[in-house]
Structure 1
Amino acid sequence: MDESKLVEHPDIPTTRTGYDDVAELYADMFADALAAQPFDRAILGAFADRVRAAGAGPVLDVGCGPGRITTYLDSLGLDVSGIDLSPEMIRLARADRPDLRYEIGTMEQLPLDDAAVAGLLSWYSIIHLPPERVPGVLAEFARVLRPGGQLVMGFQAADDESVEVQPYDHRVTTSYRWSARAMTELLRPHRFSVIARMHREPDPDERTPHWYLIATRE
């Protein structure tokens, strides 16, 4: 994608630069994280099973970072590619797995045709997005997913389900924690049906609990 054509909201350069600056540290810190996270692996495995059961096809990892989850989904047999806002993250992803497809881009303008993918992964990729722009991103997810396609989302959980969204002092830049209820409501107008959700308490080195959702594009 031609980066000069991307709509640059004021927060985008901050997020891009923030992740460029920590890309190598991030890649090192999280390289083997999934090995110690059986519940995360279970959700990703269920997502992969759902994609295959619906007929398989291309899968897009949105906000792929250095490609750690992209690589894991590839190991599960999915035809997966990645996209990320950070050029440095994409450089690291390509260096690690030159056989996989990685592209610089934004989740708000995905470089795909309508109904192009069978599955879409949003693994903590919406956390820095101002809440008022989340519905537009979910509409973009719906646009590129084929009917019957699968969406899996991971994000930090709000303090409780009575709180829709709350700012969070992320180390890179401001992020937002969501309730599963609020995210489910935002997905519904875009013809997503949430079929599974899992709440995970924080690991000893984490500061927040987590939500994971799997939804089907109707």
Structure 2
Amino acid sequence: MAQRLNWLRAGVLGANDGIVSVAAVVVGVAGATHGTGAILTAGAAALVGGAISMALGEYVSVSSQSDSQKALIASTHEALQRAPEQGLSELAQTYENKGLSPATAALIARELSEHDVLAAHLSAKLNLDAEDVVSPWHAAFASAIAFTLGAILPMLAILLPPEGARVPVTFVAVLLALGVTGWIGAVIGGSPRVKAAVRVVLGGALALAATFAIGSLLGASGLVG
């Protein structure tokens, strides 16, 4: 359940990134030009580039975590093969340090070692399960998909309405979506919901306002047609 919640939280954050980054791009371009082609091109580039960037970043990060986990598992296995009695003593000491009596700690250490000595050491000493080694490919795909799903909203909001309503509709749609993602993230993380939602909405509003202002200034200057 904890792993599923972590994946869900990562998905919500990825969608949030997709919403904010792509919305900021299309709103900024819409401030500079009313051309649908330019807005679509910029939005599509931001969506594809952002999704790939998120996937690569997640892959590199999770690969490092996965390599560290595998190295810990391998070194623990090697140490147990080399000195099993010392490993049993260390496992019993670990349980003693957690508050068990020496006799109980020794009994638990022995019985768990007879069942699966490597799993017993990984769980008690490293809080690690060999079956829970994270997959960088899964993380990369999940991150890219979440970002893409989030990015679709501002793309539709900027392209579907009439020209004069594009920016206001996008602002409203994006800020509502950010409020929802902030609320969901707070529910998953167990933090205050309203505070989290407001924080995300204010951050998104600032990003949209800044990019729209920059786009409008560039459009008014004549540098962008």
- Shorter-chain TM range is under 0.3
Q: Choose between structure 1 and 2: higher helix proportion.
A: 2
- TM norm structure 2: 0.22
- TM norm structure 1: 0.22
